[in-house]
Amino acid sequence: MAELPDSQHLTSSAIFSQYEKVADFSGRPHMGASELGYECDRYLWLSFRWAKDNKFNGRMLRLFQTGQLQEQRLVDDLRSIGIEVSDKDDNGNQHRFSAIGGHFGGSMDGAGVGFPEAPKTWHVLEFKTSNAKGFNALVKKGVKDSKPQHWVQMQLYMGWAELTRAMYIVVNKDTDDIYNERIEFDQAAFDKMIVRAEKIIRAPEPAITIGENADCFTCKFCRFRDQCYHQEAPKVSCRTCAHSTPELNGNARWSCDRHHKDLTVDEQRAACADHRHIPDLLKNWAEVKDLSDNYTLHYINKITNAEFNQPGYTSKDITECQSKEMIGNPVVTELISDMGGEIINTTNPFSDMADDLPWVTPVIQPKKARNAKTKPK
């Protein structure tokens, strides 16, 4: 019998790869109630504006699914001890709430009545899973101090559902132990949260960073760290464009001042050729020189003092060029103009050399070549 080769874990890798293949990493159309507990207004604004995809590997995606699967098990557990649970609306969907013109909202896990702690009181239900470390912190400190985002989420659902209590139920993923805690509605906190959400949604530009530098505890592991403190440009979508506005009269409606129309979600994700970055999102390395023409923005590259403009450089060029010193480089500018090309996603290995070196040319690729369909050999 042939000897088995060393395991390469191909099956588990294939499973995780499949999760990544089918995952949707694009931002959701609204700001979620589960997000508002973040302490940073800038983070919430950038997330709402789809400034960067929130990507996870296959293992994490499967872990998220494990938490979702636990919800039905907890509903069954509650019903088995005589608690009445309403986890679906009349259409068979989760109870959904929205506010601020549909730009803010969330889906409640359910509502229940008949708890031993207060048998006659309806409670908002919030289900979570936690590792042992987080679970022990909950037992010691309670949800408000150890998981403030979850506390905020329940306050919002209580306010929208017009209930005065919530039941927070957490499963320890390591031991299957269960923690539960009753939460009281705080009207003042609810009102404050709604005001905060509307302020962020209305804001044409993001708030300042809450950290002093990129290595502070709050910012160090944030996915927007390089946009806030370094030279990364935001993802191109209508939501990062200076022409778009979230309208408060409608159902999560966005309008475009450039084309005088409302934008579908698909149109927002795709953006158009007239996309112009909100200038504040480029300020770490580019300064607006002239705003007199709404459709042509003139910039100075603060790294090299070179001038450039949009649409001379498209928003896609600006976002995909990781070495921002190349933006406005005379050779690059000429090649884009003469070849009708675009910058592909690359870094410049010769960034410490003179600006007019010809080696920067590999980052330019004619649009027709990049978009052409190649035939198999």
Q: Where are the beta strands (DSSP E) in 100-237?
A: 104-108, 110-113, 123-130, 165-172, 178-184
Residue-level pLDDT at 60? 87
Q: Measure the CA–CA gap between 59 and 70, rounded to whole angstroms.
A: 17
Q: Are strands 104-108 and 110-113 parallel, antiparallel or unpaired?
A: unpaired
Residue-level pLDDT at 195? 97
Highest mean pLDDT among 54-58, 186-190, 285-289, 356-360: 186-190
Percent of the chain clearing pLDDT 70 (strictly above): 86
Mean of the pLDDT values across residues 204-208?
95
Mean of the pLDDT values across residues 357-374?
44
Contact 244, 252 (CB under 8 A): no
Tell if the pTM clears 0.75, that is, is over it.
yes
Domain ranges (residues) in the chain: 28-202, 233-370
Contact 335, 313 (CB under 8 A): no
56 CB-side CA count, 13 A: 14
CB proximity list for 225: less than 8 A, separation 6 or greater:
214, 219
Where residue 236 falls (left for φ over 0; alpha for ψ -120 to 50; beta otherwise) is beta
Across all residues in the chain, what is the average pLDDT?
A: 88
Residue range 105-122, pLDDT digits in tens: 999 999 999 999 999 999
Between 314 and 340, name the one with better pLDDT.
Answer: 314
* CATH fold of the domain at 28-202: Lambda Exonuclease; Chain A (3.90.320)
pLDDT of 354 > 50? The answer is: no
Residue range 30-85, pLDDT digits in tens: 999 999 999 999 999 999 999 999 888 888 889 888 888 999 999 999 999 999 99
Task: Read off the pLDDT band of 375 (50, 70, 90).
Answer: very low
pLDDT of 374 > 50? The answer is: no
Where residue 94 falls (left for φ over 0; alpha for ψ -120 to 50; beta otherwise) is beta
Task: Read off the pLDDT band of 344 (50, 70, 90).
Answer: low
Residue-level pLDDT at 7? 62
Percent of the chain clearing pLDDT 90 (strictly above): 68
Considering only 193-207, 282-296, 301-315, which range has the smallest mean pLDDT?
Answer: 282-296
